[in-house]
Amino acid sequence: MAKIWYLGHSCFRMEIDNVRIVTDPFVTENPLAKDIDLAQIEADIILVTHGHGDHIGNLVELANQTGALVVCNYEIYLWLEKQGYTNCRPMNHGGVFTSKGIQYKVVIAAHSSSFPDGSYAGNSVGFVIKGSNDCIYFAGDTGLTLDMKLIGDEFELTGAVLPIGDNFTMGAKDAAIAATFCGAKKAIGMHYDTFDIIKINHDDAHNAFRDKGVELLLPQVGEKLDF
C-alpha cells in the first residue's frame, strides 16, 4: 500500500516500494502550506506535469536539495539545464520509463503549459505510477477526456489523484466521471482551495464522487494517507 503525504495544491510525497516520489513542487508560495518545511522534504524522483508556477515554484530548489531524478517533458528538461540542473529524464506522451522498479507512463493532460515568464513549456502531462502492488494515476492539471478510458483499459488502478478545483481544471463532477473512466474506486482530490478562484464546497465534491461509486479523500495539508 502506497503512503502519501499531501503537501498542498498538487504537491504530494509518495512512498511506493520504498521509492520517494514528489509531484509538482509548490510549497513556499502556497498560503495553505505554511507549516510544510521544504528543507525536510526527501525525494528520489520528482514528477513534473507542466510549467506553470504553481507546479514548478520550488522545483529547482528541491532538485538541488535532494539530487532527485526529475521526470518531465523535454521543454522543462531544457529549462532545468539552463538553471544548472541536469539529473533529468525528458519524456512525452506515451513514453514509459522504469527506475528502481517503479514504472512511469506519461499520459495526456488537457491543459496549457507555460513558464512563469510566459514562454512555452511544452505539453502538459499526467503519469501512471506502477509499483509491485500499487498503480496510481496522477492526472496533473486536466479537463475530462475520453483518453482516460485508455488508462482503465491498460491498467488496474489502485487509486487516482485528480484535480477537482474547477475553473482551470476539472471540477468535482467531471473528476468523478474521470475516476469511472480510468477505473479508480478511490481518489484523492488536488488543485483546489489554494486560491479563491478554485475554492470548492467539500460536501458537494464528496457527493459527486459518491454518486459514481467512488471514494473521495480530501486530506489536510501535511496529512499522511495509506492509499
DSSP for 35-98, please give it.
Answer: T--GGG---SEEE-----HHHHTTHHHHHHHH-PEEEEEHHHHHHHHHTT---EEEE-TT-EEE
Nearest to 79 by CA among 109, 108, 48, 110: 48
What one-character-per-residue DSSP string does 144-213 give? --TTHHHHHHH---SEEEEE-B-SSS-BHHHHHHHHHHHT-SEEEEES-SSSGGG---HHHHHHHHHHTT
* CA distance linking residue 163 with residue 189, whole number of Å: 6
For residues 11 and 7, give the distance between their C-alpha atoms in angstroms, rounded to a whole number: 5
Burial class of residue 103 (count of CB atoms within 10 Å of its CB; 0-12, 13-18, 19+): middle
| Pairwise CA distance, residues 24 & 44, whole Å | 14
What's the pTM?
0.98
Mean pLDDT over each residue of the chain, to the nearest integer: 98
pLDDT score recorded for residue 72: 98
Residues β-bridged to residue 89: 71
Report the CATH number of the 3-220 domain.
Answer: 3.60.15.10
Cell 475516476 belongs to 179
pLDDT tens digits, 84-118: 999 999 999 999 999 999 999 999 999 999 999 99
Q: Are 26 and 57 in contact (CB under 8 A)?
A: yes
9-31 tens-digit pLDDT: 999 999 999 999 999 999 999 99
Q: What is the pLDDT of residue 171?
A: 98
- Listed by start position, the domains of the chain span 3-220
63 and 70 Cβ atoms separated by less than 8 Å: yes
Give pLDDT tens digits for 113-139. 999 999 999 999 999 999 999 999 999
